[in-house]
Amino acid sequence: MPTDAELTFADHMGRLYARRYGFPPMLGRLIGYLSVCDPPDQSINELADALLASRSAIAGAVKTAEAIRVLRRTRAAGERMDRVRIDLSSPHATGMDVSEYEELREMAHEGLEVLRDASIERRAVLLEMAAFSDFLVEQMPQMQQEWDARRAAMVAAGELPERTDHRGQR
């Protein structure tokens, strides 16, 4: 049974994700609750009960969270239900997926081709979008390396645990 503080945190995360990213509040509530719940692996039924939500609302939020790669779904041998948990191991989950910015750059260049004969003023938005996405594509690998080094130092100092898989193995 979740505590009031855990549910309040989940609700606050729901509002953050709705306000900041335009996601349905249930997605943020799911991410918030999975960030604080014990055990960290939860079934759809357990999540629905904890968050006082329908199974379909939770299943939809899980599907979206899987698509943005912030959680992982697993099934233990012999179990008939999936369990989900937060997974920050992918660059996508931490906002460092360079492919997102490569796609943005491609779209900007496509738009620039459409406006190839237009004035620089008319192309300004796309020129800046292309330049900014180029910048991010160049910087993301360095930022990822710096984060990996910082995270490793924090693990070595005992400030963060090593990442484990769904079976608790490193």
| pLDDT at residue 79 is higher than 90 | no
DSSP 34: H
Looking at the fold, whether 116 and 77 belong to one and the same domain comes out as no
pLDDT at 165: 56
pLDDT at 78: 84
C-alpha distances in Å from residue 110, one per residue of 1, 98, 118, 133, 157: 52, 18, 14, 13, 47
Other C-beta atoms lying within 10 Å of the C-beta of residue 58: 25
- Cα separation of 15 and 118, whole Å? 42
Looking at the fold, whether 82 and 106 belong to one and the same domain comes out as no
Looking at the fold, whether 53 and 112 belong to one and the same domain comes out as no
Q: In what order do the strands lie in the sheet with 83-86?
A: 42-43, 83-86, 71-74
Tens digits of residue pLDDT in 85-136: 999 888 888 888 999 899 999 999 999 999 999 999 999 999 999 999 999 9
| pLDDT at residue 169 is higher than 70 | no
Count up the domains in the chain and report the number: 2
Half-sphere exposure of 21 (CA within 13 A, CB side): 15
Domain that holds residue 137: 98-156
Query: Which residue, 95, 130, 83, is CA-closest to 110?
Result: 130
pLDDT at 142: 95
Q: Is 129 inside any structural domain?
A: yes
**Domain's final residue, options 58, 86, 114:** 86
Looking at the fold, whether 22 and 79 belong to one and the same domain comes out as yes
The answer to whether the beta carbons of residues 42 and 50 sit under 8 Å apart is yes
Looking at the fold, whether 8 and 54 belong to one and the same domain comes out as yes
The answer to whether the beta carbons of residues 48 and 55 sit under 8 Å apart is yes
Q: What is the pTM of this model?
A: 0.81
CATH number at residue 56: 1.10.10.10
